[in-house]
Structure 1
Amino acid sequence: MRRMTAALALTLGLAAPSAEAAQGFRFDSIDGGEIALDGFRGQPVLVVNTASQCGFTPQYDGLQTLHDRYGAEGLVVLAVPSDDFKQELSSEAAVKEFCDVNFGLTLPMTEITHVKGADAHPFYKWLKAEHGFAPRWNFNKVLIGPEGEVVDTYGSLTKPTSRKVTRKIEALLAR
């Protein structure tokens, strides 16, 4: 894995403590305030770029299932709504209401956030620069380990509750 230079980190606007750890990043919360990945140190985090008007939107049910099943053991499921693929509602309030009414979501959620391109959030710029992964569509998933390491990435077709995902989550929780 390639090490990030200090110049590259500054260019990307990264706050990560190292090229290996995701924990230095912060997102604006859909509920106001910030969601700091550093606050989840020692816990696995599944970060998912989402959209309310996508064919994969029913995966919200699976994300909530993971949150309900593994949240008490330490898993954090973080939804990152994005309109980069032109399938998100026009405001945070609309997204929050949609997710509450249709899926009863109780997991943390960011404001509508860019996940690709020049305007991508620093977390996603870091993910691409250091791990070669950028969301190619909605509902791409990134599993972050307890120390901030990228454990695995999954495309839209991988359901949140698939064995492929839950096996890795369970292994991280058993550490």
Structure 2
Amino acid sequence: FSLRFQSEPQYKNIGWCSILLTIQFLAQLLLIPQGSLFGQIMFVSSLGVSWAYNSWLSSLDKEKIQKEILLNNVLGEPKVTKYYFGTRTSMVVFVLLVLQPEEPSKILNELLPNDTKVWRKFKSTIVERLLDKEKLHFEVTDADIDEFTHNERTLLETLYGDAQSAYEGYIQYCASE
């Protein structure tokens, strides 16, 4: 929800309210000690109620409320589909396939910041295939992996497998749209 005041954009109403509240506070601070016991109890109880209400307000999950307002009121309850991926790599490749960005290398480097020889090879292959609109089916040939150790080859094959599974998920996504 939102509030609209007639005095926008100066908000004179809010200024006057804050001045009146300050005057009330000072008057209560000076006059209550001179009043009756009942007045003093009412003053202290009003402070307690105010404290309890402020504590309750501050305990609300503001992010949850904002999310509900955005999804329900602003976006009109959009259709949301969750996709689960085995690895972060397959998730990033799927996002690149769905978004089809002009510069996939920027997104790829942002979401997968690893910068080793294997990761650079993987990223360059993915970017090249995305820009050429090629399928993401991989066969690691000896020419591709001569420069890598056994562990690096295993990692590269795993990364290509993740990319290939993301591509297969993308094919299913396109078929469902």
If asked which structure has higher relative contact order (CA below 8 Å, sep 6+), I would say 1
- In terms of fraction of residues, the more strand-rich structure is 1
**TM-score tier after normalising by the smaller chain length:** under 0.3
The two structures have a TM-score, normalised by structure 2, of: 0.23
Larger radius of gyration: 2
The two structures have a TM-score, normalised by structure 1, of: 0.23
